[in-house]
Amino acid sequence: MTTYYCPDPIQSTQFIPGTNTPANGGQLFFYQGGTSTKVTVWKDNAAAVAWANPIVLDSGGNLPAGGEVWQQTAQPLKVVFAPSNDTDPPTSPYWTKDNLHGLNDPALLPAASEWLTTITPTFVSANQANYAGDVRATFTAGTRLKSLVTAGTSYGTITSVVFSAGSTAVGIDTALSIALDAGLSSTFIALLQGDNTESVPLLQGGRMLFMDSTDNTKMGGFDLSAIASSTNVTLPFSAIVTSAAQGASMVLLAATTVASSATVDFLSGINSSYDVHKIVFDSLVPTAGSTGIQLRASIDGGATYLSTSIYFTARSDLDSTSSTNAFFFAASSRIALQDVIAVTGIVGKYGYGEINCYLLAGNFNKGFDFSVSELGSGSLYQSRGNGFIATSNACNAIRLAFGTGFISTGTFYLYGIKKS
């Protein structure tokens, strides 16, 4: 059983009222708060030993043997202090203390709320309430307001506050909730004011959510699942401001690491929610030499992949020989992002690169541009190019694979980019 320390004056020396005489043999009776039903109180916080009820005080008016009184959690007490010769129940008590709560008992604390009660409002219209007196210090534009009306609970934002002729008119925007009506009975103002003069710190472990400005059913937060344990990540505010100013955003849609896989397929996330889809890869190693990485696209979610009317051009450079190869394919079955360079391919080449994909249905051709690099045998191989697939349908799946053999290892990321 959980107990809490009973408050004074129960623990203190008791005197006969109006005198300095200790209440020798005085009696303390304990009842359930607001009733005449006796309850048990305890000598210790473990509730191991109960007091007699009533407790008979010693000759000095104190609890016997320097004792303490502990009461059960969530149980307010009524305590009656009576003379030593009074009856049980007492008929001539010295005093009565009702609804005494155990010290720091959380069960009896009022529930915390982010809303503060205001004075009684007077309904004026669907978006206005009046308050007696000058309450401009309480109501500020931009502050949230909760109102109880006939239709239920209305949530709104204060838009205007005007004091005139002994009354304050408060304008309220309830467009995303219930309008005010003649049944308006009370209002509650948000703990934080709308003038940005107050703030609440986010405690460690707390979760920050952001609400859409026009639809309060849309909320979002940060997904930290990809961050390693015991790692603190700082998000530069300047980067957020720059991105917002440019009106663009990039979202990680998928990430996958493969080993000895024939293909890497992106079958979800490629849709009209984004204007451009970007694929980034690194640590890419083929199982066979003299082979290049290739891209194909699908218009049926990956059930089949387009193999006609595909065009691309690219330029490949090899730094060890300063050689350059340019290649162009018409009506190909795939886009070669890194074709076979005019040297013997080396199994274990390390590749990295990125591909931008323009796949929406609005354009007749679905475009791609890419930059792919390989490191092998002390040399750097690089391809840069672009291509398109002649189809008016939106592409909704992408496949990557080597021309020969499997992907030995590699990590691939799919991002979605919105222009605005």
pLDDT digits 0-9 by tens, 113-124: 778 888 899 999
298 in a domain, yes or no? yes
11: which 2 tokens?
């623990």
**Is residue 24's pLDDT more than 90?**
yes
Contacts of 299-307 with CB under 8 Å at 24 or more apart are 299/391, 299/393, 299/394, 299/395, 299/396, 300/396, 300/397, 301/267, 301/396, 301/397, 302/265, 302/267, 302/397, 302/399, 305/397, 305/399, 306/389, 306/391, 306/395, 307/333, 307/334
Is the domain of 103 the same as that of 137? no
147: which 2 tokens?
């109102």
- Give backbone dihedrals phi and psi of 106, rounded to 5 degrees, phi first: -70, -20
CATH number for the domain harbouring residue 414? 2.60.120
> What would the DSSP string read from start to end of 174-217?
-TTSPPP-TT--EEEEESS-TTS-------TT----EE-SS-TT
**Is residue 285's pLDDT more than 50?**
yes
pTM (2 d.p.): 0.43
Higher-scoring residue by pLDDT: 196, 63: 63
Is the domain of 387 the same as that of 258? yes
Q: How confident is the model at residue 327 (pLDDT cuts 50, 70, 90)?
A: low
71 in a domain, yes or no? yes
41 in a domain, yes or no? yes
**Is residue 11's pLDDT more than 80?**
yes
Is the domain of 80 the same as that of 180? no
pLDDT digits 0-9 by tens, 131-172: 999 999 889 888 889 999 999 999 999 999 999 999 999 999
- Give backbone dihedrals phi and psi of 246, rounded to 5 degrees, phi first: -80, -10
Distance CA 14, CA 58 (A): 10
**Is residue 398's pLDDT more than 60?**
yes
3-state SS, residue 162: strand
Instruction: Report the pLDDT value the prediction gives residue 345, as an integer from 0 to 100.
Output: 39
pLDDT digits 0-9 by tens, 208-222: 667 776 776 777 777
344 in a domain, yes or no? yes
Instruction: Report the pLDDT value the prediction gives residue 105, as an integer from 0 to 100.
Output: 86
**Is residue 295's pLDDT more than 70?**
yes
Is the domain of 96 the same as that of 126? no
Show which of 72, 90, 109 is a domain's final residue.
109
Is the domain of 46 the same as that of 27? yes
User: Contact at 8 Å (CB) between 103 and 109?
Assistant: no
Is the domain of 121 the same as that of 105? no
Average pLDDT, the chain: 82
Is the domain of 278 the same as that of 412? yes
353 in a domain, yes or no? yes
Show which of 173, 190, 207 is a domain's final residue.
190
399 in a domain, yes or no? yes
Q: How confident is the model at residue 109 (pLDDT cuts 50, 70, 90)?
A: low
Higher-scoring residue by pLDDT: 376, 401: 401
Instruction: Report the pLDDT value the prediction gives residue 311, as an integer from 0 to 100.
Output: 81
398 in a domain, yes or no? yes
**Is residue 383's pLDDT more than 90?**
no
Is the domain of 66 the same as that of 151? no
Is the domain of 120 the same as that of 95? no
Is the domain of 365 the same as that of 393? yes
CATH number for the domain harbouring residue 63? 2.170.14.10
275 in a domain, yes or no? yes
| Residue range(s) defining the domain that contains residue 271 | 251-418
Show which of 109, 134, 153 is a domain's final residue.
109
Query: Which among 266, 271, 274, 303 has a CA at the least distance from the CA of 414?
Result: 266
Higher-scoring residue by pLDDT: 344, 283: 283
Instruction: Report the pLDDT value the prediction gives residue 246, as an integer from 0 to 100.
Output: 47
Is the domain of 369 the same as that of 267? yes
Is the domain of 182 the same as that of 300? no
Q: How many domains does the chain have?
A: 3
pLDDT digits 0-9 by tens, 58-87: 999 999 999 999 999 988 999 999 999 999
